[in-house]
Amino acid sequence: MNSLTNLFAEIPAEPPEELFQTLLHAPGVRIERIVSFGHASPEGFWYDQETAEWVLLLTGGARLRFEGEEPIDLRSGAFVNIPAHTRHRVEWTDPSQPTVWLAIHYDSA
Beta bridge partners of residue 29, listed in sequence order = 26, 106
Contacts of 43 (CB under 8 A, 6+ apart): none
**Contact indicator for 109, 52 with CB cutoff of 8 Å:** no
Where are the strands (E) in 7-87, listed by range? 19-26, 29-36, 52-59, 61-66, 72-75, 79-82
3 state DSSP class of 89: strand
Structure pTM? 0.89
**What residues pair up with 64 in beta bridges, in sequence order?**
72, 90
Note down pLDDT in tens along the chain; length 109 residues.
577 789 999 888 777 789 999 999 999 999 999 999 999 999 999 999 999 999 999 999 999 999 999 999 999 999 999 999 999 999 999 999 999 999 999 998 7
Q: Which ranges in the chain belong to alpha helices (H)?
A: none
